[in-house]
Amino acid sequence: MGSSGRVARRFAGLEELTMADHAARWKAAFDRAGIATGVFIAIGEGNEDLAEFVRLAPDRFQAWGSVVDPTAPDAASIVRRLRSWGLRGLKLYPPVQRFQANDRAVYPVYEAAAEQGLPVLYHFGITVAPIYDLTYANPLPLSSVARDFPEITFGIAHCGAGFLREALFLAYHTENIWTDTSGTNNWREFTPGAPSLEQVFRDLLRAYGAQRILFGTDSTAPDEYREAILKEQQQVFRSLEISDADMRAIFEDNARRVLRLA
């Protein structure tokens, strides 16, 4: 079964649920896994629906907003509304939206994010999305953007999703770029040497430090909240003998700081 078939099967039946049903299922999943707060991303530009979902449990649910095309003339005006919708940040997807992070056409979006105090999260690298172009997958163009917008906190999801080396390079001259550990990180299977998760996390700690690493599961449905990823990543970080303070930073404190949570 192809990736689109797996995705369809995963979401089968969810369309029949109300927003309240979804909220109840996610709260139950968080309770089972011991999760206080989770951050959601809509597929496509579902900002208003996502805002409605967040309002059902604002202490448990947070969200990244989105735009369909960050180079479009109206994209910046949408970003300026994210805070009013109760959304905490902006998620961009260069390989799918087909833009380079340093494209000047995207700068109005960055200016709007800066005005609103919004962090910006990117999915670079490989992706299961059926429509993508890996020409836009390299995170290195973020280098000039991070310099031009030092007031924005920029995030690289999934450890760069196959561009780990480039993600580590970006830690060198910047203080406003961080990375997250979300997902299975199966991009390692397509990386020379197939590095272990232990090696990946050791590299991230060396380059970024614990204060610029955020944990994530990349779960897609409440009935399959990826608790196994949570447990695996906790185990791997503990095996690296980091301090309790660094564990709290990675699994809680950094997200609270970046997303401005109480």
Q: Flag whether 47 is in a domain.
A: no
Nearest to 54, CA basis, from 93, 82, 15: 82
- Whole-number pLDDT of residue 13: 59
- Whole-number pLDDT of residue 112: 98
Mean pLDDT of 223-229: 88
CB atoms within 10 A of CB 69: 15
Is-contact 26 14, C-beta < 8 A? no
What is the average pLDDT score of the chain? 92
Is the Cα torsion angle 225, 226, 231, 234 positive or negative in sign? negative
Q: Which pLDDT band holds residue 12 (cuts at 50, 70, 90)?
A: low
Q: How many CA atoms lie within 13 A of 159 on its CB side?
A: 27
Q: Flag whether 153 is in a domain.
A: yes
**177: containing domain:** 68-258
SS3 92: strand
- Whole-number pLDDT of residue 9: 57
User: Long-range contacts of range 72-76, CB-CB < 8 Å, 24 or more positions apart?
Assistant: 75/106, 75/108, 75/109, 76/108, 76/109, 76/111, 76/112
Residue for token pair 């760069």: 160
Is-contact 254 212, C-beta < 8 A? yes
Q: Flag whether 52 is in a domain.
A: no
End-to-end CA distance of the chain: 43
Assess whether pLDDT exceeds 70 at residue 56. Answer: yes
Burial class (CB in 10 A: 0-12, 13-18, 19+), 25: middle
- φ and ψ of 114, to 5 deg: -65, -45
| Domains of the chain: total | 1
- Whole-number pLDDT of residue 1: 40
Euclidean distance between CA atoms 240 and 235, whole angstroms: 9
Euclidean distance between CA atoms 156 and 214, whole angstroms: 10
Condensed to tens digits (0 to 9), the pLDDT of residues 206-219 reads: 999 999 999 999 98
| Cβ partners under 8 Å of residue 169, min gap 6 | 140, 143
Q: Which pLDDT band holds residue 8 (cuts at 50, 70, 90)?
A: low
Q: Flag whether 251 is in a domain.
A: yes
Condensed to tens digits (0 to 9), the pLDDT of residues 81-136 reads: 999 999 999 999 999 999 999 999 999 999 999 999 999 999 999 988 788 999 99
Condensed to tens digits (0 to 9), the pLDDT of residues 93-103 reads: 999 999 999 99
Q: Flag whether 40 is in a domain.
A: no
Nearest to 258, CA basis, from 215, 217, 203: 215
Amino acid of residue 136: Y
Q: Flag whether 24 is in a domain.
A: no
Q: Flag whether 29 is in a domain.
A: no
| Cβ partners under 8 Å of residue 127, min gap 6 | 93, 95, 96, 137, 161
Q: Flag whether 14 is in a domain.
A: no
Q: Which CATH number do you get for residue 246?
A: 3.20.20.140
